[in-house]
Structure 1
């Protein structure tokens, strides 16, 4: 008797999944054998799972990952890659994000650096953190444009709020003075407050030379290297297969 009014009230409260699940329950004989608490728990679980999936989907869309399907579960641990399972397992816990630590991924072109970085960001989104992917050349362009149109401070503010910022292709070209200073501003705002994932073909030991200006290089590296997990990927290029598939 009270089915229709109750359904309308559930929908007015935006509890659509709960409402649909309740309708389905009424036609399932197995569900009828459960007591009230059991049936109610199933309704709440259905609504909770649906909202969780919606939130994760939104976070992944906002992250704009280069490889949206990348996930830690699909990482290939072939011996030639020399990947440490224990280290990946530790990173998968997300503790490094809570500790505001960074992850530095280096290796030759095509060995899967971008995939691993996107997989870490994907895992962060699943845990409820905000992530954002940018290739360093693209980020530098955005910073330069923001300088020109007066939105520089606003852009820095947005970047500072991202829990996990993925910077792919670090060190592809020499940096100009304004670019060096822009990167320093980004890392200064995030230091000790947020986490950054950086991928590069250049070994970390050569990043100081890449940055050029010794003073700025010291300041940048102090903010990204000392509190960082380092992964060096090895093995042959993986781009002979599909770039979006790790295994």
Structure 2
């Protein structure tokens, strides 16, 4: 998926800025956040009521659906996640405001940061996906890429973030906060540790190191190895498709990492999950 053009707050049309001020009160300063690719505006606003993280997408853009999912799931995410303050559609835009947190992106090459993310995933493990929301289920999201007869192995009741790239994890003091809930899902609890392990490999760690961190989570240790290997095959095919359709540096790298992690799990070189 290609990136949206990123607007500075002051470059937004005047009606959009007025709609934001109607939620925040006076805006004293703004700073554009350059990371991420799911929104057209991402700004830290200093307002009369405190600091706010603003995200916005033009209505009609396909990414607006992800922003709606993010707002809908916000009451159910772990308490360590930034709190949603408001969500409105105004002046042709979908706009959401979060409490702004002073943090940095996680470094998956750092054992200290991996330990902090481990704590966040332990907290997430306690969350059950809400029944009242129309969430994507794992067997439908990854099932089309799975070997025949294996998609049912991905089913479960756990709330999953599914996009644990370092940009979506903020380190605040000595804890990790999961942000950007654009792709939540319902599925087996071990899926999140697997997706985290893949991102650790993508950061430059070996599959053995990545799995050693994933294995510290109960859900991974209790997982059926057959299910994990089936999921690894499906995820590898997803990234292969992405890289074939859009051979960006990120997609090609992720496809190579997914294939590597799938191969070592299939051979049992990292130990059983």
- Please tell me the TM-score bracket, short chain as reference: under 0.3
Larger RCO, structures 1/2 (Cα 8 Å, 6+ apart)? 1
Q: What TM-score comes out, normalization by structure 1 length?
A: 0.26
Q: What TM-score comes out, normalization by structure 2 length?
A: 0.25
- The answer to which structure has the higher helix fraction is 1
